């Protein structure tokens, strides 16, 4: 149990003692994070196994599975995380997390598919600069705009509108950045909309539900004192 004490126009939190442990601490502090990272490891192993057959593995059912896993990884990192932080905290947390998550995804994509300095290992020069930059900027936009538009609101309808609106903007921006890349394979048509914009809007409709649950459990109150006192 946390005790809030007013002191010099700020809020201070007196923490738990070293004996204050319960079952939920073990479940949510140890077991749940371990399950999440093991799932991530499992997904990466599945992708590595399916890609072990070379470029031929990218066709057929294996290619579909790899594409779905890759899309889930991308949407979680570049959409869900910055959007969630923007909704429950503020635009600075959303924008900063978008920059970090977008950068991590761009680097991971380059490593995962054997891209170094804009070249495939087996030869064949490519230019993925606009694509990688698009992931970073799109994630930043989504996180920042979510925080700037939601303004700490706990109203679910407002969060839903903000989530779907910001992800639509971020999706269209990313689709436009793809068109600047000479190696782009995603065109500005219905297929491109479905792959980049519709999927992000779907995430934008799901994340507000998660944000609302976080608010029910008091996560929204764990802001810096400047936010709490404002």
Q: Is residue 22 part of a domain?
A: no
SS3 content of the chain, % helix, strand, coil (to 5): 70, 5, 20
Q: Is residue 19 part of a domain?
A: no
pLDDT: which is higher, 11 or 77: 77
Residue 123: pLDDT band with limits 50, 70, 90? very low
Residue 222: pLDDT band with limits 50, 70, 90? very low
pLDDT, mean over the chain: 80
* Count of structural domains, the chain: 1
- β-bridge pairing 3-7 and 115-116: unpaired
CA distance 83 to 98: 8
Q: Is residue 53 part of a domain?
A: no
The pLDDT value recorded for residue 171 is: 95
Closest Cα to residue 229, out of 6, 1, 2, 3? 6
pLDDT tens by residue, 188-201: 888 889 989 999 99
Q: What average pLDDT score do residues 137-164 get?
A: 95
78, burial (CB in 10 Å: exposed 0-12, middle 13-18, buried 19+): buried
Q: Which domain holds residue 70?
A: 58-229
The pLDDT value recorded for residue 4 is: 47
Q: Is residue 83 part of a domain?
A: yes
Residue 52: pLDDT band with limits 50, 70, 90? low
The pLDDT value recorded for residue 151 is: 92
Q: What average pLDDT score do residues 95-110 get?
A: 90
Q: Is residue 193 part of a domain?
A: yes
3 state DSSP class of 123: coil
Q: Is residue 43 part of a domain?
A: no
Q: What average pLDDT score do residues 12-26 get?
A: 75
C-alpha to C-alpha distances, 122 to 125, 130, 184, 225, nearest whole angstrom: 10, 22, 19, 54
CA distance 107 to 110: 5
Q: Is residue 14 part of a domain?
A: no
Give the percent of the chain with pLDDT over 70: 73
Q: Give the number of other Cβ atoms within 10 Å of residue 51's Cβ.
A: 17
Token digits for 140? 């930043």
Token digits for 171? 């999706």
Q: Is residue 210 part of a domain?
A: yes
- What CATH number does the domain containing 180 carry? 1.10.1760
CA distance 132 to 141: 15
């Amino acid at each position: 149990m946390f005790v809030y004490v007013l002191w010099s126009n700020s809020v201070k939190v007196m923490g738990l003692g070293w004996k204050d442990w319960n079952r939920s601490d073990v479940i949510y502090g140890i077991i749940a994070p371990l399950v999440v990272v093991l799932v991530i490891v499992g997904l990466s192993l599945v992708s590595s196994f399916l890609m072990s057959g070379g470029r031929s593995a990218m066709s057929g059912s294996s290619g579909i599975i790899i594409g779905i896993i890759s899309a889930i990884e991308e949407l979680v990192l570049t959409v869900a995380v910055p959007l969630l932080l923007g909704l429950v905290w503020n635009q600075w947390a959303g924008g900063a997390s978008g920059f970090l998550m977008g950068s991590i995804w761009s680097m991971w994509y380059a490593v995962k598919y054997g891209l170094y300095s804009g070249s495939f290992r087996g030869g064949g020069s490519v230019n993925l600069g606009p694509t990688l930059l698009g992931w970073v900027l799109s994630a930043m936009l989504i996180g920042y705009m979510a925080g700037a538009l939601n303004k700490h609101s706990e109203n679910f309808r407002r969060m839903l509108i903000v989530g779907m609106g910001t992800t639509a903007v971020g999706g269209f921006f990313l689709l436009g950045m793809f068109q600047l890349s000479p190696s782009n394979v995603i065109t500005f048509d219905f297929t491109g909309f479905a792959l980049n914009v519709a999927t992000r809007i779907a995430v934008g409709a799901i994340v507000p539900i998660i944000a609302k649950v976080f608010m029910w459990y008091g996560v929204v109150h764990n802001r810096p004192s400047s936010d709490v006192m404002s």
